[in-house]
Structure 1
């Protein structure tokens, strides 16, 4: 499951870069496509200080204008004086001295942070002991060197929900991330990009060339569950026969006139305790006793926030009524299989969670109990999920076609440890999706950003140093923003912002516009394309979203689109042009 960190491993590729152009026409020259799907960071939060690539500026933090940066209260106009912080390592008056008092609302607060982005590393370093032990909850983080704290520089987690993100984006103004977040000011934090292991590795002598896509957006508003679904199916799932009776098993959200389903430290929901931030969209026809759903709010029986699958593995103890009934809409896996193209979803910890005794990644022995001490205490052998195994990060497990006992499940849902073996021995499938386990996926709250980035470097090294390296296109992106602010508005809000930026900074090759609908796209997220075949590194400023990956795969293997979004969106194939000389 765990790979030895090999940050310098990519440097072993000196002189390995090929002279063959990598253009949109040469997509067919890649016999293997690998998609590595990381967790929960906006572009500015993680890649905001990437700088320029071969003289071409990356649209990062230096380009952030005040109109899309200064955070305001729920009224949309009142700017904060300070950033409220509730992460225990950022709070005032202790451990940080107060330097700012905010009196813009009914209740004042003190802070060490002005109303602007700040560098997290200045306060919580990668070497600090602030990470909780696996399975331990720390709502506001762990104070440095607290009992039981582990090294890794973890922050607290941040809310990332379907309705909340739309409130935060605020029609493209990008100025209510703080107000709509349970983590308040932490949403304005960012990392020193140049110190991230992935940045360091890609800029070592002899490393493979890359293309950074600086206008890549998460497909759907909200969190990991929904964006994983969009990655594989380009659709928002429907909960068949969902209850709509206001009972305990009615999973519909209840939102106020601002489209918010919850309260935060800086936002009081207009419905008070009647609001409900649940697994499904708000009901189009709420039952008696529930308020009407605002007309501009997406409604129906759609699963939008974290919900457990019907099939194992799912969180132990989740009742049937609160698990999503098996889905039957088409996935990219179905399309590939129908064409005879082999593929797999490789997940860290899958063999343990799925009960695949003896398979690659299995660490729970052959007895009647789960032998791995990192297995969930509530696990029942042979399903022995790790304490940080995320059930909702396994999108194909929600589909009937991959039910337990099917050949499709056995052939296509595999463990990350097997992927590494195949990469190192030159046996990669034509299409691979790789999902690291929780401890290694960079998710705020329970994972170290530095450790997750190092694991990403290891994965890339296993591919480019392997026999299939030259024939492989690697796509690295993140499922969603993780609650962190970004200054670039997603389609359809960005036209004026983009036009002004290009006029001001002399960029004349941004491909504006972008497919959009009621589901998204949402906040901008990091995205990289990496290959030994690339002639040079570059920047692509075109608008993409997660379904652009699907379209690239569809183009490579002549597959029909899964839905309207991947039919309309710009293919990520276009980014290959930036790697040409």
Structure 2
């Protein structure tokens, strides 16, 4: 059925208004802090999607098979495409250690069940690096069958992402900072740590805090305490310490977290299968876990001009205000985007086709703006959903809580003090599963695959590096994270061209090189 696209309609109207009023014809003055960067990048936009392993989307990249109806959306790969570490290149499409072989999911089956991706169960599937227990936690999809966790899509479904990879840069060696579901992933993205979370509402549902505690490392999906949209029947927590938003505030930089459904947390949209999905998911709301960066009552900004600045919204906005910022030539220095749930890519209620529409619409809008010349878009993911991936990353953070299952039960190595000031932070076993990571920018290398080990906190490390910010500290993974600098080519950019894609097919609509 037709998927509603209010974002596209609103964006078009805003762009027309902005052009007619001259808003898009000149570059606005910036504060000294925003102008002073180590690289030509003045705007970082992080599109943080849900629940995809690297092999689930790129397991045969850059080679795609036609769909069952004969359609092809991804053309022949570029001849100079580098060889990534995939199921295909590793020879794991046949004789797989899981006892069953991975299989291609056709574009006609975009919506699947949600695999088991708990902190403990993901580790168990890894089996100390043997990567051979993924079938034990398959969700037994009604169409895909009992081996569903071994399914993968290719470029004739996730066409846009493959096209971005062909024309810009991606990693085949980037990991979740720790194991576990969505909330640990987003905490690692904005703070580099899942420690310390504290339960505030005495609902002690198991699997939220390591070792069954009331405070410690977050391993589940509790809601943020104080958020008016959080479910009172779910465990709620608050986080201590600082996040990258606090660092940006201290430096006087503009920034924002833009979330689908933030203005109306009861709003819904239908996914491609026609199922109604609530837009706003509290445990996906990046900065709502910290009192310092929370907008508890979901207040709007005091004006469109205030987007990105400190006011009653406290840098937390509905997604549509990101498009307002583009149209009004007011793009913050750093933006974190969370799609409305039906477009976030999470198996069970979202899908790669709805996700593609969101990602493409955002990037197309940015490419049509004058700020594009100074912008870097990072597409990243919160966790793997339990989908099979054949690569185990290094265990940078050891842990031996009862929830750990990577080695013998209760064991992910011997924990050590992560930070002299904070002591041992147990319950942060990681790096976790390998996840997609793409960089789209005029300054990105072309058709490039980065092999350096990175993790979710590498994104905030780049923010810190670019604006000369101090690391977060307190055990944050940003202190040891791999660099994203290899994705860029600052010696030969920027490229003038814009790769405009069709949001339904992911195919190239225009490319002015």
Given the two structures, how large is their TM-score scaled by the length of structure 2?
0.70
Structure 2 runs not aligned, ≥5 long: 10-36, 63-76, 141-145, 271-275, 300-309, 397-417, 419-424, 494-513
Q: 1:279 aligns with which of 205, 208, 211?
A: 208
CA spacing shift, 1:579–1:536, aligned 2, 3 Å: farther
User: In the alignment, what sits opposite 1:394?
Assistant: 285
Distance 2:254 2:479 in 1: 22
* Contact in 1 for aligned 2:139/2:149 (Cα 8 Å): no
Pairing of 1:282-293 with structure 2 (within 5 A): 282-283=211-212
CA spacing shift, 1:199–1:398, aligned 2, 3 Å: closer
Q: Deviations over 1:350-370 (max 9, x none)?
A: 1112xxxxxxxxxxxxxxxx7
Distance 2:191 2:268 in 1: 35
- 2:124 is equivalent to residue 120 of structure 1: no
Distance 1:240 1:416 in 2: 28
Q: Deviations over 1:330-384 (max 9, x none)?
A: 000000110111100011111112xxxxxxxxxxxxxxxx7x6769xxxxxxxxx
CA spacing shift, 1:420–1:579, aligned 2, 3 Å: farther
User: In the alignment, what sits opposite 2:86?
Assistant: 60
Secondary structure at 1:202 match in 2: helix
Distance 1:341 1:418 in 2: 18
- 2:177 is equivalent to residue 219 of structure 1: yes
Aligned length: 396
Distance 1:40 1:279 in 2: 18
Secondary structure at 2:45 match in 1: strand
* Contact in 2 for aligned 1:230/1:546 (Cα 8 Å): yes
The structure having more radius of gyration, on CA atoms, is 1
Runs of 4+ in 1 over 6 A off after TM superposition: none
Secondary structure at 1:163 match in 2: helix
* Contact in 2 for aligned 1:389/1:437 (Cα 8 Å): yes
User: In the alignment, what sits opposite 2:196?
Assistant: 238
* Contact in 2 for aligned 1:345/1:432 (Cα 8 Å): yes
Pairing of 1:359-370 with structure 2 (within 5 A): none
- 2:463 is equivalent to residue 553 of structure 1: yes
Distance 1:451 1:538 in 2: 26
CA spacing shift, 1:2–1:164, aligned 2, 3 Å: farther
Per-residue deviation, 1:172: 1.4
Q: Deviations over 1:189-227 (max 9, x none)?
A: 0002244241465389xxxx4111111111110110111
Q: Deviations over 1:51-87 (max 9, x none)?
A: 2763411222212345997344xxxxxxx4xxxxxxx
- 2:133 is equivalent to residue 176 of structure 1: yes
Per-residue deviation, 1:118: 0.1
User: In the alignment, what sits opposite 1:202?
Assistant: 164
Distance 2:491 2:138 in 1: 38
Pairing of 1:121-160 with structure 2 (within 5 A): 121=106, 125-126=107-108, 153-160=110-117
Q: Deviations over 1:449-495 (max 9, x none)?
A: 112112211111111111111110111111111110111111149xx
Secondary structure at 2:186 match in 1: helix
Pairing of 1:29-108 with structure 2 (within 5 A): 29-51=40-62, 54-66=80-92, 70-72=96-98, 80=99
Secondary structure at 2:438 match in 1: strand
CA spacing shift, 1:461–1:579, aligned 2, 3 Å: farther
User: In the alignment, what sits opposite 1:261?
Assistant: none
Q: Deviations over 1:419-448 (max 9, x none)?
A: 122224432111111110111111111112
User: In the alignment, what sits opposite 1:569?
Assistant: 481
Distance 1:412 1:443 in 2: 25
Secondary structure at 1:410 match in 2: coil
Distance 1:282 1:448 in 2: 33
Q: 2:388 aligns with which of 466, 485, 504?
A: 485
**Larger displacement relative to structure 2 (32-41 or 536-545):** 536-545
Secondary structure at 1:62 match in 2: coil
User: In the alignment, what sits opposite 1:462?
Assistant: 365
CA spacing shift, 1:212–1:203, aligned 2, 3 Å: closer
Pairing of 1:444-463 with structure 2 (within 5 A): 444-463=347-366
Secondary structure at 1:314 match in 2: coil
Secondary structure at 2:85 match in 1: coil
Given the two structures, how large is their TM-score scaled by the length of structure 1?
0.62
* Contact in 1 for aligned 2:277/2:349 (Cα 8 Å): no
- 2:476 is equivalent to residue 472 of structure 1: no
* Contact in 2 for aligned 1:211/1:578 (Cα 8 Å): no
* Contact in 2 for aligned 1:349/1:386 (Cα 8 Å): no
* Contact in 2 for aligned 1:424/1:463 (Cα 8 Å): no
Distance 2:231 2:179 in 1: 27
Q: 1:250 aligns with which of 198, 201, 204?
A: 204
Distance 1:555 1:69 in 2: 44
* Contact in 1 for aligned 2:181/2:221 (Cα 8 Å): yes
User: In the alignment, what sits opposite 1:443?
Assistant: 346
CA spacing shift, 1:580–1:219, aligned 2, 3 Å: farther
Distance 1:308 1:574 in 2: 36
